[in-house]
Amino acid sequence: MNIELRQPEISQKTRLKVIDVDIHPKSAMEDLRPYLAKRWWDHYQTYGSRIRQGFLKGFPYPKSQPFASRRDSWPPGGGLPASDLNFMKQQYLDLHPIEYAIMNPLSPTGQGDQNDEFSAAMAVAANEFQLDGWYARDGRLLSSVVVPYEDGEASRVEIRRRAGDKRFAHVLLKSRTNELLGKRRYWPIYEAAVEAGLPVGIHVFGTSGRPASNTGWPSFYIEDMTEHASCCQAQVVSLILEGVFERYPELKIVMIEAGFGWMPPLGWRMDKHWKTLKAEVPHLKRAPSEYLRGHFWVSTQPMEEAEEPDHLMDMMSWVGWDHIMFASDYPHWDFDDPLMALPPALDHERRSKVMSENARALYRLD
């Protein structure tokens, strides 16, 4: 009986096109080697990467599944999850009507490395490999401009190098930076992104030396996952209250994998304090929540699961139906299936916006 009832519903959803704003094709250091000067390859061989976290190799927290990936995503022919384009097509890109998928490389990219010059060289290599290793073989795979974000000027150089190249969708930062993202040292990134007409994506995680929580390193992976929300709130508050959006009114930020249930109360809280403390931040011309709703987009995966479906709908309404974009996080273990990701209560128009139209508008995809 269940099967009979579900079929028409699923086939209708299947017809909806999908633009996925967060997938993680995997590259190896060996893939980046052709794009690294010998000086930097030798440096890597001699000194390795110098990320700021407790362990130089592996993850600071054990992931739920090996390589944080779906156990069924290991390619039959060998290699790491999402390292084999043909298997990725079979398991995801061709299984669903994927129009575009934005690649957010997590490692190796050199982001957060203590050696700024190595970090900058790695960013160039990671960007070149996205084009040659992925986009050239499947034009649905759009690249991110990986930048050495702890060095604002070097990031500006890399963004300018990619400006006008339609194969890049956004500039990619991670959420755990060495200082709060509203600080001036990061402003060259925003200035260059606006000049290039690119949104700035902030994907959770990062190895710049800061724990997820604001008060030290948690014990468990479940805390690492949960605290993305508090970490991202601190970044959003900093970006808004430092006046970044007054200086760069065209700047658009995409929060990736951060959830969004925390946004409405954060807006209320900032507005409440702003009413009495606005003399401290006279550069703000509008209520903080207006910047929040105007300049931030969010991705769906992983979204909060409220006991009352209406509560989730209320949160999504507050964030804005034009500002929520589907993400699968393929091949990671907390992957969202395009058919199952959105609450059943969403009507066709809103579903279509979230699944593709909002991303199409933001990224100007034709």
Partner 1 sequence: MAMAGHVVASVDEIPPGTRKLVEVNGRAIVVFNLSGDFFALNNRCPHRGGSLSDGIQTGLVQSREPGDYCYSRPGEMVKCPWHGWEFDIRTGKSWCDPARIRVRQYPVTVKPGTELVEGPHVAETFPVRVENNYVVVEA
Rounded to whole angstroms, how far apart are CA atoms 131 and 144? 10
Q: Which residue has the tokens 């995680």?
A: 205
Of the candidates 99, 116, 138, 334, which one interacts with partner 1 according to CB under 8 A?
334
202 vs 225, beta carbon nearer partner 1: 225
Find out whether 69 and 81 touch, Cβ atoms under 8 Å.
Answer: yes
Of the candidates 131, 217, 333, 360, which one interacts with partner 1 according to CB under 8 A?
333
Mention every residue, 6+ apart, whose C-beta is less than 8 A from residue 73.
81, 82, 91, 330, 331
Asked if residue 65 binds partner 1 (CB under 8 A), the reply is: yes
Asked if residue 20 binds partner 1 (CB under 8 A), the reply is: no
Asked if residue 72 binds partner 1 (CB under 8 A), the reply is: yes
297 by DSSP, 3-state: which?
A: strand
Asked if residue 64 binds partner 1 (CB under 8 A), the reply is: yes
Asked if residue 305 binds partner 1 (CB under 8 A), the reply is: no
Asked if residue 340 binds partner 1 (CB under 8 A), the reply is: yes
Calculate the CA 287 to chain-centre distance: 26
224 vs 336, beta carbon nearer partner 1: 336
Asked if residue 306 binds partner 1 (CB under 8 A), the reply is: no
152 vs 331, beta carbon nearer partner 1: 331
Minimum CB–partner distance for residue 222 and partner 1 (Å): 11
Among the listed ranges 63-71, 197-205, 242-250, 310-318, the one in contact with partner 1 (CB under 8 A) is 63-71
Among the listed ranges 17-25, 114-122, 174-182, 334-342, the one in contact with partner 1 (CB under 8 A) is 334-342
176 vs 332, beta carbon nearer partner 1: 332
Tokens coding 239: 């970006």
Of the candidates 339, 343, 352, 360, which one interacts with partner 1 according to CB under 8 A?
339
Mention every residue, 6+ apart, whose C-beta is less than 8 A from residue 24.
82, 103, 104, 105, 106, 329, 330, 331, 332
Tokens coding 30: 């060996």
Mention every residue, 6+ apart, whose C-beta is less than 8 A from residue 93.
101, 138, 140
64 vs 230, beta carbon nearer partner 1: 64
Minimum CB–partner distance for residue 65 and partner 1 (Å): 7
Of the candidates 336, 353, 359, 363, which one interacts with partner 1 according to CB under 8 A?
336
313 vs 339, beta carbon nearer partner 1: 339
Instruction: For strands 296-299 and 253-256, give the pairing.
Output: parallel
9 by DSSP, 3-state: which?
A: helix
Find out whether 359 and 325 touch, Cβ atoms under 8 Å.
Answer: yes
65 vs 178, beta carbon nearer partner 1: 65
Please state, as a whole number, how many other Cβ atoms lie within 10 Å of the Cβ of residue 145.
29
Find out whether 253 and 301 touch, Cβ atoms under 8 Å.
Answer: no
Find out whether 290 and 327 touch, Cβ atoms under 8 Å.
Answer: no
Per rule CB under 8 A, count of chain residues that contact partner 1: 12
| Residue ranges that bind partner 1, judged by CB under 8 A | 64-65, 70-72, 333-337, 339-340
